[in-house]
A and B are shown apart, each in its own frame.
Chain A
Amino acid sequence: MIKMTLNNKPVALDVDPQMPLLYALRDELKLTGTKFGCGAGQCGACTVHVNGVAMRSCITPVSAIAEQAITTIEGLADNNGNLGESAVQVAWREFKVPQCGYCQSGQMMSAAALLKAIPLPNDEQIIEHMQGNICRCGTYQRIKAAIKSAATHSTVANSVTTDLAGMNNGVEIFDARQLANKKQGA
């Protein structure tokens, strides 16, 4: 039994500990907002937050996230924005970012993690953080614009949050191997 917090609720999973979180979310918990795109950490479609940090759930075994706090697109709304949406979701609607929409859960999760770490990112920081998320429909230009808009709005709304203490610019996308190593080291 692997326990975690999922979108602020406690969850226990009785699955193969090696099962990537992506399949546990989609097949076991029926949370299908998190998408499969490559299964290899290369496209970002499966991005979720683990303790507020963007992570590729397709290569993150559930064993690696035991006792951690997971947020998926279904839990991204933070009641700060219109319609109970996060600043990122509000901006995504405003700029009509999605085409097919399939990559967009992952894009929004990555963007939200970026803004959490860097409230007012510059172009380079946006690109560096977002280039792991593929959009085959080609919505990149709108994603950039939406992130900038969300950054301006959320910083006005929240000023800077305390989570940032101790974090400097580099926003890391952890993959499971990194996390597993960290855990082993700990």
Chain B
Amino acid sequence: MFKVTIDNQSIEVEPGTTILQAARKIGGEIVPPAMCYHSELKNSGGKCRTCMVKVVQGSANDPRPIPKLVASCRTEVMDGMVVENITSPQVVDARKAVVEFLLLNHPLDCPVCDQAGECDLQNLSYEHGTNATRFEEEKRTYDKVDIGNLIQFHPNRCILCYRCIYAADQLTDNRVHGVLYRGEKSEISTFIHQAIENDFSGNIIDVCPVGALTDKTFRFKNRVWFLKPMDAHRNCPTCSGKVTLWYRGDEVYRVTGRKDVYGEVHDFICNECRFEKKNSNDWTIEGPRTVAPYSVINQNHYKKVVIPSVINPLKETME
């Protein structure tokens, strides 16, 4: 076992564990936020840079620090490694910068976004953002793209985390969408007119950390904090059948995979469960889903989570 110390808390982990996983084992506020990494998706991570931490001691054998900040989601621990996350002003600064970069071109449409209330970026900016926008340029926009009747794609909201690409690669037989073009012009697309539809394609909705991929069949589109999440299962021949049902009153408004406190689904579900089983009778109810403590759903109040000056122009709409 390797001993690693993160923000003065120590833990023993298996060799091969990443700093982020070690931090999650410790838990609490010292866990770095992760926007592009998803523990169930191989090769994910390293791209968004929100999870960067400072390694002040490389290992017991070689105590030299690592000169640059490292992506904790993709850096494996060494025995005796000492890491600083929220105790390092450099890390806090860099994270602020990354949040600023991620928000530069992100539309201010939280009030009309399906993901509002369960958006990792919204949470991230609430916790780590700065107060003022210094961006005076025009925001990048794209035309809407139709990717079929099940999934809605809002390209303007995409933060290019690549999670949906890995999900399609690893969970479905035939990936038809990808990252096209390069640099700032990169975009998620199918390139040709084509629906993203196969047994497991709906999972790209659950892995998307923002509201770029949403459920087109989400009935009567509703703010998620008005919905009551219940864990349920059914005997499904295709997938685990373990889901969260989102109720309003007695009606199931939508079905999703079960997200843990870090917003990750570990049992991916099939499209039949997600899109076609919207009747309580289809399911065995297990009980209310405990929602991530940091999530705004818990706070039941939208205003609390907006980053004041960035979202302010829309404040009126919310009240």
A binds B: no
On A, residues with C-beta under 8 Å from B are none
B residues adjacent to A (C-beta < 8 A) = none
